[in-house]
């Protein structure tokens, strides 16, 4: 998700099976890495539990450069992450943009201060025993100045070379982190047009995912066996699970210690359907689900049956084949200014997604952009580290079966 909450989003959804047995401390030996790798798909999903996004922070930008306070949030602190953990979340997804922090070719060196800060924020959660996901977020948005991971750009050879070098550096930096660290290839990559996928753009997205898997696997340490998360077209469920061109990357360089019948690749999707309730900045559609009391305020589609059908689609296509699914983003914006009962339906929405995902063996990670009040996704006040939406958190916990 970008910082703009009023842009249209295709129907997305993801379920994740990810949990890894963690080894206390860090080790640089490949042997130790392989010992901790033996957690199967069901275990990784169970261990991840329900998750939370540190949105609008390390992916925030100004004039094409990453800047964690540029979109209105304060500097990330250990105290914030501790509050998220104390509220019951077991996984934190940290969206990251690189953009102008990447130097020129052929080495494409990432600014060391930026990479150090990314690692510091990762450590806030990782050192508390949480699962952590980091990705390449804003580099693929045409609407972000300096974006370069553009699937329909002409210079694909240069783009792919840059992509490989950047992920190589990230993988090297985190090679000694155990299986609680999950790397995610990119975010909502597509051609910017909300419709059916196009070629050769989808083929390039598949190629990016393959470069990501090959590069991470060959970079040493725990990377040979860690769980890797990849999306299809715009993290859209239909365009990922349907016959629209998504190809699961091959994993030829993974550790031989992983049983041949097990996977180490996860599939990422997002879920914001129906958009007129979940993300569109209006004062009309404020209620959701079968418990709605005013159906004129309820969308005509995208209710409980739709949640079930979308997650089942991912289950049938990927989970049954051993590929965990992660709903890397979901949530709904605050419209209590227009309807005082809105938070009740936001909580119902969160419960339904987490409960349905759990039923279909997927992990879920709530999108929090740090904005509270009108049209915000926030569950916490990041300035004073307090909970702002306890009802929603309670229903996330209930849905996840905590």
Tens digits of per-residue pLDDT, 43-55? 999 999 999 999 9
Does 207 fall in a domain?
yes
Q: What is the Cα–Cα distance from 176 to 24, expressed in whole angstroms?
A: 12
Distance CA 310, CA 383 (A): 36
User: Is 171 part of a structural domain of the chain?
Assistant: yes
Q: Is the pLDDT of residue 319 over 60?
A: yes
- 195 vs 3, more confident: 195
- Residue 360 in domain: yes
Sort strands 61-62 and 362-366 into parallel, antiparallel or unpaired: unpaired
pLDDT category at 279 given cuts 50, 70, 90 is very high
Q: Within a domain: residue 10? A: no
Q: Number of structural domains, the chain?
A: 1
| Count of helix runs (H) and strand runs (E) in the chain | 11, 12
For residue 396, report the phi and psi dihedrals to the nearest 5 degrees. Answer: -65, -45
The H or E element spanning position 46 is: helix 41-48
Provide the phi-psi class of 383: left if phi over 0, else alpha when psi is between -120 and 50, else beta. Answer: alpha
The least confident of 14-28, 121-135, 153-167, 369-383 is 14-28
In a domain, 23, yes or no: no
- CATH number for 232: 3.20.20.80
CA 80 to the chain's CA centroid: 19
CB 232 within 8 A of CB 267: yes
Residues in CB range of 281: below 8 A, 6 or more apart: 5, 6, 333, 375
Query: Comparing C-alpha atoms, which of 118, 80, 84 is closest to residue 101?
Result: 118
Q: Is 132 inside a domain boundary?
A: yes
* pLDDT reported for residue 39: 61
CA atoms within 13 A on the CB side of 94: 25
Whole-number pLDDT of residue 402: 75
Q: Which residues contact 360 (CB under 8 A, 6 or more apart)?
A: 15, 311, 312, 314, 315, 319, 325
CA 189 to chain CA centroid, Å, is 12
Both tokens of 358, joined, read: 């759990």
End-to-end CA distance of the chain: 27
To 5 degrees, how large is the angle CA 343–CA 347–CA 350?
140
Determine whether 345 is exposed, middle or buried from the number of CB atoms within 10 Å of its CB (0-12, 13-18, 19+): buried
Is residue 9 domain-resident? no
Give a yes or no: residue 3 inside a domain.
no
The region, left, alpha or beta by phi > 0 then psi within -120 to 50, assigned to residue 185 is alpha
* Ramachandran area for residue 240 (φ above 0: left; ψ -120 to 50: alpha; else beta): alpha
**What is the average pLDDT score of the chain?**
91
What range does the domain containing 187 cover?
31-400
**Which residues carry out catalysis?**
188, 329
**Residues in CB range of 256: below 8 A, 6 or more apart:** none
Percent pLDDT > 70 in the chain is 91
pLDDT tens, 175-227? 999 999 999 999 999 999 999 999 999 999 999 999 999 999 999 999 999 99
Residue 45, CB-side half-sphere exposure with 13 Å CA sphere: 32
Check residues 401 and 78 and name the one with the higher pLDDT.
Answer: 78
Count of alpha carbons within 13 Å of 246, Cβ hemisphere only? 24
Residue 248 has, within 13 A of its CA and on its CB side, a CA count of: 20
Q: Which helix (H) or strand (E) holds 53?
A: strand 50-53
Mean pLDDT of 17-36: 35
């Amino acid at each position: 998700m970008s910082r703009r909450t009023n842009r249209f989003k295709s129907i997305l959804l993801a379920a994740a099976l990810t949990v890894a047995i963690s080894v206390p401390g860090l080790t640089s030996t490949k042997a130790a890495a392989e010992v901790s790798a033996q957690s199967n798909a069901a275990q990784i999903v169970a261990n991840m539990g329900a998750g939370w996004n540190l949105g609008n922070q390390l992916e925030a930008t100004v004039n094409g450069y990453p800047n964690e306070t540029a979109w209105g949030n304060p500097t990330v602190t250990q105290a914030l992450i501790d509050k998220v953990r104390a509220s019951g979340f077991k996984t934190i997804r940290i969206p990251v943009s690189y953009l102008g922090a990447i130097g020129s070719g052929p080495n494409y060196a990432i600014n060391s201060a930026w990479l150090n800060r990314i690692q510091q924020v990762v450590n806030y959660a990782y050192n508390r025993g949480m699962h952590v996901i980091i990705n390449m977020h804003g580099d693929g948005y045409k609407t972000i100045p300096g974006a370069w991971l553009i699937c329909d750009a002409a210079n694909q050879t240069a783009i792919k070379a840059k992509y490989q070098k950047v992920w190589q550096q990230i993988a090297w930096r985190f090679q000694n982190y155990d299986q609680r660290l999950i790397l995610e290839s990119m975010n909502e990559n597509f051609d910017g047009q909300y419709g059916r996928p196009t070629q050769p753009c989808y083929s390039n997205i598949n190629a990016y995912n393959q470069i990501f898997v090959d590069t991470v696997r060959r970079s040493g340490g725990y990377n040979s066996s860690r769980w890797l998360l990849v999306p299809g077209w715009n993290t859209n469920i239909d365009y990922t699970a349907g016959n629209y061109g998504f190809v699961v990357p091959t994993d030829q360089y993974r550790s031989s210690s992983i049983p041949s019948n097990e996977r180490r690749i996860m599939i990422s999707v997002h879920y914001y359907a129906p958009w007129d309730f979940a993300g569109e900045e209006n004062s009309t559609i404020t209620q959701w689900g079968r418990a709605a009391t005013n159906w004129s305020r309820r969308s005509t589609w995208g209710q409980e049956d739709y949640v079930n059908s979308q997650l089942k689609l991912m289950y049938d296509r990927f989970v049954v084949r051993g590929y965990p699914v992660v709903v890397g983003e979901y949530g709904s914006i605050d419209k209590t200014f227009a309807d005082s009962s809105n938070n009740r339906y936001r909580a119902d929405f969160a419960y339904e997604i987490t409960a349905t995902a759990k039923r279909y063996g997927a992990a879920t990670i709530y999108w929090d952009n740090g904005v509270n009040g009108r049209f915000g996704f926030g569950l916490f006040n990041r300035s004073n580290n307090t909970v702002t939406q306890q009802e929603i958190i309670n229903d996330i916990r209930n849905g996840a079966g905590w």
